[in-house]
Amino acid sequence: MNKYVHGYSDYEANRLHDQADSLADLLHYDSVWEKGSIILEAGCGIGAQTKIVAPKNKNSKFISIDISLESLDQARNIADSNRIDNVVFQQANIFALPFGDEYFDHIFLSFVLEHIPNPIQ
C-alpha cells in the first residue's frame, strides 16, 4: 500500500498542487483550530494541503504523516520554501500510528480515503 496509484512524477505533483490551490477556499475556509492544538494530518502526500492549512494555524502544531518517503521529501521542500515551521513530517502508516491514544486534538485528512482499499478498517 505504499505505492501511490498516480505515481510520483513532476506532472502529478503539479496536478496535486493545482487541485489544492483551486479548492482551497471551498475546502479550507474554516480549517482553523484552537491555539495550541496538536493536529494529525493523515496522508499528507507531497504537502499540497499542508501548505494551505498550516499557515492558517500558525499557533498550532501539525504532525503530517505519509507512508511514502518520496512524498514526504517533497512535502518538506514545499514547507521549507513557504517558510512553514509549525509542521513535522514523519513516515507512518495510518493503520499503525506511532502515537499514544488521545495525543492529538484534531485529525485532518484530504483526498486519502479513496486510496485505501478498506477505509472503514
What pLDDT sits at residue 1?
45
1 in a structural domain? no
**Full domain range(s) for residue 68:** 10-115
What pLDDT sits at residue 113?
58
- Mean local confidence (pLDDT), 2-26: 62
Q: Write the CATH number for 41.
A: 3.40.50.150
pLDDT single digits (tens) 68-118: 899 899 999 999 999 999 999 999 998 899 999 999 999 888 766 555 677
3 in a structural domain? no
76 in a structural domain? yes
121 in a structural domain? no
What pLDDT sits at residue 33?
87
- Residue 26 in this model has a pLDDT that exceeds 80: no
**The total number of structural domains that make up the chain:** 1
30 in a structural domain? yes
Cell representation of residue 86: 509549525
Q: 37: burial class by Cβ within 10 Å (0-12, 13-18, 19+)? A: middle
Give a three-class secondary structure readout of 27-70. Answer: HHCCCCCCCCCEEEEECCCCCCCHHHHCHHHCCCEEEEEECCHH
> Which pTM does this prediction carry?
0.77
Cα–Cα distance measured from residue 9 to residue 14, given in angstroms and rounded to the nearest whole number: 9
